[in-house]
Amino acid sequence: MTVISMPTFISQNTKIRIQIDIKKYCDAIILHPRAREQGYGGNADLKYAIKFKKKSKIPMIYSGDINEKNHKEYLKYFDYLMIGRRAIGSPEIFS
């Protein structure tokens, strides 16, 4: 399986545009919609991620602000979820 992982923004004002035929080269996309300036704070840009997913022809793995209370809602929009920092010190999130 080939997966492309990308942050949504290089900076708050510059969105990354993929100019390749993703479906030809990848089986899935991992998207983490947060700007570099946000560091580990702020909220992921869910609206942008949903818009990106609607245009995507391949499965999307979403990462950003996922927890045990909202994961079912996020699965309505995305094919898979990836849990990052939330799992550190909270392994119960997987139970």
Task: Specify the residue for token string 């840009």.
Answer: 45
Confidence of residue 81 (pLDDT cuts 50, 70, 90): very high
Residue 75 pLDDT: 95
CB burial of residue 66 (10 Å; 0-12, 13-18, 19+): buried
Are 64 and 34 contacting, i.e. CB atoms less than 8 angstroms apart? yes
The model's pLDDT over 22-66, given as tens digits with 9 standing for 90+, comes to 677 788 888 888 777 777 677 888 888 898 888 888 899 998 888
| pTM recorded for the entire structure | 0.71
AA identity, residue 40 = Y
